[in-house]
Amino acid sequence: MFQAVLWGLLIFSLSLLVFSSKFSHVAANHYPVRLPVVGHLYLLIRHRYLHHALACLSDCYGPSPLLLYFGSRRTLVVSSSAAVRKCFTYLDLNFTNRPMLLPCIHLNYNCTTMITLPYGPEWINLRRFAALHIFSAAHLQAFSQLLSNRLCVLLRSLFRGGGEGEGFQQVDWRWRMKEVVLDSLMEMIIGRRQKGEGNELVRMIDEAFQMSAVVSPEELLPWLSWMGARRQMQRLEKELDAQLQGMVDEKRGERAAEGDRKQSMMDTMLDDPHYTDTTIKAMVQTMLLAGTDTTTTTLEWAMALLLNHPNLLQKLHGEIEAHVGHGRLVDPSDLPSLRCVTNVIKETLRLHPPAPLLVPRESVADCEVGGVALPRGTMLIVNAHKLHRDPELWEEPMQFKPERFEREGEGKGHKYVPFGCGRRRCPGEAMALSSIGLVLASLVQGFEWKRVGEEEVDLTEAPGFTVPLGTPLLALCKPRDAMVDLLAQL
């Protein structure tokens, strides 16, 4: 529907442009022609994904920065390390705000979550709370223990489902990963695992990420509100809010009736009268959305890439066998020694960053980047997908080569930004890396993995903020002979 509307607007805009004197001027400067009404939106029609379209534009019109107009919205696209460094060091304070996009308004409590809040006292307070009560060393250790407990449940289920080692069983990798990550997050957030709401939560989280990734017509051309994107977001907003309010009310009831003081994240916020129900729900939603889909999507990409490179899968197992053995399960304290596991995760994040365009920012004052003058209110998009595949920055950038990170300093600086950078860099980076490493290492330690068929796993992308695999990953596994006795004891 959006493409049909764009084609109609394109024909209309071209008709206007024929009678405009701007055409020869713009074309002579070798810069994308800005059409009336649609701006540069017509350049996106041929591409299914925005990060691919912007990468092609950078290839065509030279290195970033590239100033574009998406309808009425002025946007600077950067995909070079020099421009990223300029934006997030010298100009970081100027790019600390988020643009008021429809998903930020309707799926983030009117831009009041930690991800979407404007830079200021409220954001600093939430960031400080997260640093002290979610991402501190003690809380990360506690979360790792929760995750380890859930992994034991998963390992036991896979072991028993496989007939105690007799042959391979098929595993829905995506669902299994979401289940274990969501259960662990729920225990950290509210003090218990999911109940019957688990499947519904996963559905809403998936839908929220899909809506956040799609360029909404009425976002860029407000007079196209009849297309209904806002209404869909408002519907999901109500569903999510009802689910989250139910969690808050249930927790408050447990505390009143039983004196429950487990000191989960929600307990800590309920103890502080400064935090309203809306603030608590916004923080819970941030943790669920940012912690579930990004982690599980990265795990799915990692296993898909490993299944297409069985020699690397075997190398991972050899490293785990050498450092951990088969007398116990992998522990979070083992991860620093598992360099191959770490390199696989880093390379997966390079090729498939959790948010290929990061989270957009917006300038709070006039500035200049790479010779381009930017007035206040310009949206900034960092194309990490393009940056991570730049042949001037990476050797054989399209190849899956985890060993590249064995080189000293590789992945440092502003050429590798899977978690963003600057003041608004993702605070959950350490938790995400530890979680991905522990899950991947545990499953490789305990089981042999292979593809369902002879063909390589199809690495086609699907729409979504985190750009998951187009087809949910199915894999075959069976317990490793050396691990049967240990798995039988779980």
pLDDT of residue 37: 83
- What number is the average pLDDT over the span 465-476? 92
pLDDT of residue 219: 67
pLDDT of residue 32: 84
User: Strand 379-382's sheet: what is its strand order?
Assistant: 66-70, 73-78, 379-382, 361-362
Report residue 25's pLDDT band, with 50, 70 and 90 as the boundaries. Answer: very low
Distance of CA 247 to the CA centre of its chain: 24
Question: Is residue 372 situated within a structural domain?
Answer: no
pLDDT > 60? residue 10:
no
Q: What is the CA radius of gyration of the chain?
A: 24
Going by C-beta distance under 8 Å and a sequence separation of 6 or more, which residues neighbour residue 205?
288, 289, 292, 293
Report how far residue 38's alpha carbon sits from residue 431's, in angstroms, rounded to the nearest whole number: 41
Residue 143 resides in a domain? yes
- Convert the pLDDT of each residue in 158-185 to its tens digit: 998 864 445 899 999 999 999 999 999 9
Domain assignment present for residue 295? The answer is: yes
Whether the Cβ atoms of residue 436 and residue 295 lie closer than 8 Å to each other:
yes
* Residue found by looking up tokens 């899977």 in the block: 418
Considering Cα of 100, then 101, then 102, then 107, what sign does the dihedral take?
Answer: negative
What is the spatial distance between Cα 46 and Cα 298, in angstroms, rounded to a whole number? Answer: 27
Residue 291: inside a domain: yes
14 lies in a domain?
Answer: no
Number of Cβ within a 10 Å radius of residue 418 = 26
Domain count, the chain: 1
Residue with tokens 């000293």: 408
Q: What is the pLDDT of residue 27?
A: 40
Query: Residue 197, CB half-sphere, CA atoms under 13 Å: how many?
Result: 17
369: nearest Cα among 106, 30, 158, 74 = 74
Q: Which of 57, 83, 80, 89 is nearest to 393 (CA)?
A: 80
Does the pTM surpass 0.95? The reply is no
What is the pLDDT, as a whole number, of residue 28? 37
Residue 288 included in any domain: yes
* Domain contains 378: no
Domain that holds residue 111: 90-362+396-488
287 assigned to some structural domain:
yes
pLDDT at 201 over 90: no
Q: Return the pLDDT at 215.
A: 61
8 Å CB contact between 363 and 74: no
CATH number at residue 403: 1.10.630.10
pLDDT tens across 254-302, in order? 888 876 566 899 999 999 999 999 999 999 999 998 888 899 999 999 9
From the centroid of its chain, how far is CA 266? 23
